[in-house]
């Protein structure tokens, strides 16, 4: 049952509608979260009152979606969406109803919803309304469609991904008939926009159970969502550093990295090129030469198709390119690596490296983690020391080079980069006098 009191503003809205002869309930995800003892991020309400009646009762409202019966009530600078009980008309393109009809029956409204755990309602007068077994499914840890799953997924094919997303969020299983329907109708996901697919995939990957992305393979969605991943499925890696197939390694690595979109997508795609680069030597050892480059090429196609913004896409692509980058665990090598990647990128590189290592052969783990720890220590020392690792850190500027007779343009950048490489080799050289002397020598050499 409900484990928390309703916020004052929600209580006020429900009471006011009730006082004027209308039914009103909180509904959907907020009821589910309250039953789980969680604080809802959003409060969705439903009512027997039509939008015009809601607007007449509250002084500050926004017409959020009148054609679907939704009005937003503003209270204390917070918006509360309230939607009139409705019956959906025929769905178009397996996504949205062409039209809706208002109804006075709560049951009719609840039965159009996706999953039982999202089809519960509550108010203080009527108490808890659960017509489709949502409470029991919460206890059992099950994602189950309301009514016929074939109908629910034909209506809105995105619900197939949402089922996996909710399963990942709560660590639930998908009920057998619901799972059967996903498998049967998986091709319908092609009807859904790339933006919506990307949103659901990101929520799965950034959940507490990112390895649930494997359920896209299990239920047959992956070939229509990210077909480039399929050659990695069950692809063995007969190598001393690996004991898991490529896809299993990926699922395990996802659980070892922080819950950010950039890091989780970087890990998910970092080895996707292995499905296209496997070779086996005369001793039976598997190799994946050039897989990082192939992973970058494939990921660029995938991330563009899913409409990622350029900043996020480029960050992910760089991390994939660097994920197999190796250097000796000493201060000089680390300075070169940080100068090459940049400080922020290097931090993410370390996170990706650690997740990758933790999902490899257990007997190699300790030595590789020790190697990473040395790199982390050198990195912390580097940050604390304020050593020069970028052109901006140099104690010489382009104007100084122009004063030496160098023309404005590309040559200045080349000289500064050369001076930076010298300083990274020998940090004590980052003194203006020494740098000017080196610059003169370089200019004289032409």
Q: What pLDDT score was predicted for residue 193? A: 95
Residue 230: which of 261, 194, 275 has the closest Cα?
275
* CA gap 48, 24 in Å, rounded: 7
Residue 116 burial (10 A CB sphere; 0-12, 13-18, 19+):
buried
* CA gap 432, 425 in Å, rounded: 16
Residues in the chain: 446
At residue 307, does pLDDT exceed 70?
Answer: yes
In the chain, how many H helices and how many E strands? Answer: 21, 15
Mean pLDDT (whole number) for 163-184:
98
DSSP 8-state class, residue 325: -
Residue 81: which of 89, 93, 73 has the closest Cα?
73
Q: What pLDDT score was predicted for residue 386? A: 79
Residue 352 burial (10 A CB sphere; 0-12, 13-18, 19+):
buried
* CA gap 24, 32 in Å, rounded: 17
What sign does the CA torsion over 335, 341, 345, 346 have? Answer: negative
List alpha helices for 127-213, DSSP H.
Answer: 134-140, 149-155, 158-170, 176-185, 194-205
- Mean pLDDT across the chain: 93
- Rounded to 5 degrees, φ, ψ at 244 are -115, 150
Q: What is the pLDDT of residues 199-228, one digit of tens each?
A: 999 999 999 999 999 999 999 999 999 999
Q: What pLDDT score was predicted for residue 35? A: 93
Residue 41 burial (10 A CB sphere; 0-12, 13-18, 19+):
exposed
Q: What pLDDT score was predicted for residue 405? A: 82
Q: What pLDDT score was predicted for residue 407? A: 83
Question: Dihedral of the CA atoms 237, 242, 244, 246 (nearest 10)?
Answer: -50
Q: What is the pLDDT of residues 353-362, one digit of tens each?
A: 999 999 999 9
Q: What is the pLDDT of residues 61-113, one digit of tens each?
A: 999 888 889 999 999 999 999 999 998 877 776 667 777 889 999 999 999 99
Q: What pLDDT score was predicted for residue 149? A: 97
* CA gap 149, 133 in Å, rounded: 15
Structure tokens at 371: 């190697």
> What is the pLDDT confidence band of residue 1, given thresholds at 50, 70 and 90?
low
For every residue of 190-221, DSSP letters joined together read: GGS-HHHHHHHHHHHHTSS-GGGGGHHHHTT-
At residue 191, does pLDDT exceed 80?
Answer: yes
* CA gap 57, 181 in Å, rounded: 43
């Amino acid at each position: 049952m409900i484990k928390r009191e309703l916020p004052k503003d929600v209580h006020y809205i429900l009471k006011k509608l009730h006082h004027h002869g209308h039914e009103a309930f909180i509904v959907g995800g907020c009821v589910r979260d309250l039953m789980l003892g969680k604080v809802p991020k959003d409060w969705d309400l439903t009512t027997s009152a039509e939008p015009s009646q809601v607007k007449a009762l509250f002084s500050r409202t926004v017409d959020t979606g009148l054609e679907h019966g939704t009005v937003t009530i503003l209270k204390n600078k917070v918006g509360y969406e309230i939607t009139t009980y409705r019956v959906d008309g025929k769905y178009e393109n397996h996504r949205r109803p062409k039209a809706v009809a208002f109804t006075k029956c709560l049951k009719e409204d609840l039965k159009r919803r996706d999953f039982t755990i999202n089809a519960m309602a509550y108010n203080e007068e009527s108490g808890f309304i659960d017509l489709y077994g949502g409470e029991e499914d919460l206890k059992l840890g099950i994602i189950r469609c309301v009514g016929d799953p074939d109908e629910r997924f034909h209506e809105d094919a995105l619900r197939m991904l949402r089922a996996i997303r909710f399963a990942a969020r709560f660590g639930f299983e998908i009920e057998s008939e619901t799972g059967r329907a996903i498998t049967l109708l998986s091709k319908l996901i092609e009807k859904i926009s790339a933006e919506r697919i990307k949103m659901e995939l990101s929520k799965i990957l950034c959940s507490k159970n990112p390895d649930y992305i494997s359920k896209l393979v299990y239920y047959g969605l992956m070939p229509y969502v990210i077909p480039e991943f399929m050659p990695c499925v069950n692809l063995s890696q007969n190598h001393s550093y690996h004991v898991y197939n490529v896809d299993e390694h990926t699922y395990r690595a996802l659980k070892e990295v922080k819950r950010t979109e950039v890091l989780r997508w970087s890990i998910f795609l970092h080895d996707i090129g292995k499905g296209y680069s496997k070779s086996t030597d005369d001793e039976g050892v598997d190799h994946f030469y050039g897989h990082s480059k192939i992973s970058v090429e494939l990921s660029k196609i995938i991330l563009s198709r899913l409409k990622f913004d350029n900043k996020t896409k480029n960050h992910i692509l760089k991390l994939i390119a660097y994920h197999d980058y190796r250097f000796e665990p000493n201060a000089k090598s680390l300075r070169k690596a940080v100068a090459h990647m940049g400080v922020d990128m290097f931090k993410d590189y370390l996170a990706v490296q650690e997740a990758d290592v933790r999902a490899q052969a257990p007997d190699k783990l300790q030595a590789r983690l020790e190697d990473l720890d040395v790199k982390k220590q050198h990195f912390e020392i580097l940050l604390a020391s304020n050593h020069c690792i970028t052109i901006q850190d140099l104690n010489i500027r382009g104007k100084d080079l122009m004063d030496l007779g160098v023309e404005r343009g590309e040559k200045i950048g080349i000289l500064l980069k050369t001076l930076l490489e010298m300083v990274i080799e020998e940090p004590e050289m980052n003194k203006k006098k020494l740098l000017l002397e080196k610059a003169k020598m370089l200019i004289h050499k032409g």
